Structures are given as structure tokens and as C-alpha cells.
Amino acid sequence: MKRYLPFVIVAVVAAVAIGIGTTLYRAKRPQTLTIPKKQGSSTTESGEIHALGPADAKVTLEEFGDFQCPPCGRLSEPINQIQHDYSRQLRFIFRNFPLINHLHAREAACAAEAAGLQGRFWQMHDVLYREQAVWSNSADVRALFSAYAGYIGLNTERFKLDMESEKVKERVAADQKQGLSIGVKNTPTLFLNNKEIDPKNLNPTDLRAAIDGALKSSKPSS
């Protein structure tokens, strides 16, 4: 089905253009951040988190991400593959951290959270990153987000209402507040077992090495 997505998007953009006449890195951090143990991998004030993998996994990888952030987009699929490959040994948590300099980042976060209310957060997460170059430069992101919602099987009318809801806005704000409380300023910011990963190591090879090291250190000594 993924192979047809570009054609779906082209058709939707064309329809929008005809129907309503629309057209279509990060600062260097001086210190390493650590999530306090009492706060690590916890729920936000909304009482919810988006996580893949078991709660009792030996390693937790936690990302504060922005859907319009190009480095986040490039890292998304490698993280998906890592999470798949490490299966029950790894838990991956995603938290919204839309940056003010990205025009559509907050709307995209709301789109993901609205999809989450229908049980499709991760599907929207993946589509937003995969199609980042398309919607980031669109004059009508809402039309594209609605098209993505239909593509992943959502009730689009409910999706549109949920995007505007206080529940969704509060969910995004709660993630961002939590990030700010521990010193997150840029995206992507990743924590491995509550300790920030050096930005220069945010690549598939170094991430896997860090996870392997965390798994090795979690094994009881013989």
C-alpha cells in the first residue's frame, strides 16, 4: 500500500488546488542531560505516553522529536528498524517537542495526537516523517494531514475535530513541558536509559553500539 501513497498525495493536493484555490541545527548543547530517575520513562501530566516494546525491557530509548525537523525525519526509519530488531529488549518512547522555528511542527504534532485518539499514533508518526518534504512546504497542511488520516484508516471528520481539541493540544504541551523541565532545547534529543545520547552519536551504527553496551551492562555478572 505504501507504493500508492505518493499518488494519493498528488491527487489530494491537486483537488485542493482546484477546489479552494490554494498553492501549495541545531544549537550545540554545553552539557549532557539526564532525566531524573523519578521522571525517567514516566507518563506526562496527561497520563499517557507513546511507546513501542515492553515496559520491562532492559533498555529504554526515549526521543523528544519534532515532525518538521529534518534530522528527526532522517532518524525515524533507522529507529523503527532498531526497535524491530531488538524486539523485547528495547522500549522506544516518543515525545512531542515542536520547535517554534518550524511553521507546521505544532500542527503536525496535533495531527499525530489526533490519530492517537483513534489508535493510530505510530502510523501517523511514520507517514508524517516519510512525507515530511511534502507537507513542510505546503500552503494547506490541514488538507494533507486529512489525506494522511484517510490513508491510515481514520475517521477523517473525527480526526479534524480532534486536531482542534483541548485534549490534543494539552497532550502536545505536556510533552513539551516535560522536555523543557529537563533541559531539552533541540531535536532530536534522545535518552538511553535516562541519559542523553551525545548528538554526534545520533546515527544507526552508534545507536546500536550504545544499546548493545546498555544491554551488556544490564546483565548480572557471573
Q: Which is more confident, 15 or 63?
A: 63
Q: What is the pLDDT of residues 40-91, one digit of tens each?
A: 444 444 457 999 999 999 999 999 999 999 999 999 999 999 999 998 999 9
Residues 6+ apart with CB under 8 A from 111: 124, 128, 145, 148, 149, 159, 163
Whole-model pTM? 0.81
DSSP state of 198: P
Mean pLDDT of 178-183: 97
Predicted pLDDT at 34: 67
DSSP reduced 3-state for 93: strand
Predicted pLDDT at 6: 54
Q: Which of 41-45, 138-142, 172-176 has the lowest mean pLDDT?
A: 41-45
Instruction: Answer yes or no: is pLDDT of 9 > 80.
Output: no
Predicted pLDDT at 14: 46
CA separation for the pair 87, 69 (Å, rounded): 26
**Domain limits of the chain?**
2-8+44-217
Predicted pLDDT at 20: 36
Residues 6+ apart with CB under 8 A from 162: 113, 114, 117, 118, 168
Predicted pLDDT at 39: 44
CATH architecture of 2-8+44-217: 3-Layer(aba) Sandwich (3.40)
Cα 28 to chain centroid distance, Å, stands at 21
∠203-152-150 over CA atoms, to 5°? Answer: 130
Predicted pLDDT at 48: 78
Q: Which helix (H) or strand (E) holds 96?
A: strand 90-96
Q: Which of 19-23, 104-108, 150-154 has the lowest mean pLDDT?
A: 19-23
Number of CB atoms found within 10 A of residue 151's CB: 20
Straight-line distance from the first to the last Cα atom of the chain, in angstroms, rounded to the nearest whole number: 49
